[in-house]
Chain A
Amino acid sequence: MPGYISIRNLHKHYGEFHALRGIDLEIARGEVVCVVGPSGSGKSTLIRCINRLEDFSADSAIRVDGVPVLPGSNLARVRAEVGMVFQSFNLFPHLTVRENIMLAPRRVRRTGRAEAAAQADRLLERVGLAAHAGKYPSALSGGQQQRVAIARALAMEPQVLLFDEPTSALDPEMVGEVLDVMRDLAQTGVTMVVVTHEMGFARQVADRVIFMDGGEVIESAPPEAFFSAPREARTRNFLHAVLDH
């Protein structure tokens, strides 16, 4: 049965470099999938293909809720359903925190100003930043900025949330506050695909962990099995390198 997110034969080339070598992946509605692997393994490229921030070859196919992710008028519709949180936050520096969150609902959903502002304040409450609505992003810490970025993605009420190494640019003491917000989100039934180096998070929160290396999916298993009994040698080597030191 095709999943809520269905990826078939996904290939991606950067010039000569073959970054993704035929990925097949089905993700169910409400599933929380963590993608781990060494840097350069293609995991960020993979999730950036899901909302087509990266182009991919024509013989590949990605569908989200049955809608093919193709360039053209459909793409904005898919993107409105698929929220994304970036490693470098990418908040809009010329807008206040509240305005950052209001922008997409106002422009894409045509939500009224008052309603969008009320929604923004509710979301800020949810990520623990109600007091910061009127500030500009530059006045916030990295962890706070990333929580605003999550609230901004949530404002479109997406069915899917993509996280591209959301804690990798953070100082260590701020990682926890962002992971806590993500952990809460995982309980809400939204489909999540998380590229991360946080093995503890993957072990506790994921329904399934995917290990990528060299542009391929090497192993895909529930966290228990993945961490305690990895089948593939490459997975074992990777886990050995990141967990035992």
Chain B
Amino acid sequence: MDLFETFFNLEVLARSFPMLLKGLWLTLQLGAASILAGLVLGLGLCMMRLYAARPVQILTRVYIDVFRSIPLLVLLIIVYYALPFVGLRLSPFVSAMAALTMVSGAYTAEIFRSGIEAIPRGQFEAAAALGLGHRQTMTDVILPQSIRMVIPPLTNNSINVVKDTALASVVAMPDLLKQATQAQALAANPSPLIGAAVIYLAFLLPLVLLVSRLERRLNRGKA
């Protein structure tokens, strides 16, 4: 058996393709749901971290630091295998989404914070001097400017989330990677794994390139 037959066996690939597509669909659902929930969580955490009462600020900071430090795989296994001991039994999808969201929210909060802190003080002062309240200052003046700045790091984070969905295969979620490993076992041939890798690349590589372009454009605007 030559290398091509082993890793790029078209017959095996064609047979496993429907399985891979099913896995891809689940991967995308999990990725999208976790990214969106992470954005909402992150914005909320960021606002608490910057503007809540002092004790809440400290708690938020602890949350953010802990969830940026913990390996996602460890968190996922705790959610899926440990929580049932206290009566909380979550499906593989919900477990994976919860773990991804908790971590993504922590990173997103820091990204939003950097975006808000990059806005000059004069913008806050001008809004305050006009009589705008805190909420209006945020929604009408600060966040619209911050969002532009944080689009590249947010996209980066989203890429990470999609990549990390592959960890969900350890809690028996039939995502793209899980489908590929099953197809590989079934066919006794690793071509489906290569197929999965190509599919991941096909989705994520354009996003990586997009981030580079956005960053270049943003830096050009600064100069």
Contact among B120, B131, B141, B148 with A76 in the assembled complex (CB-CB below 8 Å): B131
Interface stretch (choices B48-56, B132-140, B212-220)? B132-140
0/1 interface trace, chain A 106-142, chain B, CB 8 Å (1 if under) = 0110000000000000000000000000000000000
B140 with A53: CB separation less than 8 A: no
Question: Within 8 Å of chain B (Cβ to Cβ): is A77?
Answer: yes
Binding site of A, secondary structure by majority: helix, strand, loop or mixed?
Answer: mixed
Decide yes or no: A53 and B130 within 8 Å by CB, A93-B145, A103-B140, A107-B140 being known contacts. no
Q: How far is the CB of B128 from chain A (nearest CB, A)?
A: 6
Looking at chain B's contact residues, the main secondary structure is helix
Q: How large is the interface on B (under 10, 10 to 19, 20 to 34, 35 or more residues)?
A: 10 to 19
**B122, B126, B128, B148 interface centre (most CB from chain A within 10 Å):** B126
B129 interfacial by beta-carbon distance below 8 Å? yes
In contact, A80 and B123 (Cβ under 8 angstroms): no
Contacts of A103 in B (CB 8 A): 130, 132, 140-141
Neighbouring B residues of A77 by C-beta, 8 Å: 131
Quote the shortest CB–CB distance from A145 to chain B (angstroms): 12
Decide: A92 and B141 in contact? CB cutoff 8 A.
yes
The smallest beta-carbon distance between B148 and chain A, in angstroms, is 8
Residue of A nearest to B137 (CB): A107
Are B131 and A108 in contact, CB atoms less than 8 angstroms apart? yes
A108–B127 CA distance with the chains assembled, in angstroms: 11
- CB B111 to nearest CB in A, in angstroms, measures 19
- From A81-89, A173-181, A192-200, A203-211, the one touching the partner chain is A81-89
Q: CA of A52 to CA of B148 in the docked complex: distance in angstroms?
A: 30
A181 CA to B123 CA, complexed, in Å: 23
Whether A221 is near chain B, meaning CB under 8 Å from some CB there, is: no
A residues less than 8 Å from B127 (CB atoms): 92
Nearest-CB distance from B124 to chain A (Å)?
9
- Residues of chain B having any CB pair with chain A under 8 Å: 120, 122-123, 125-133, 136, 140-141, 144-145, 148
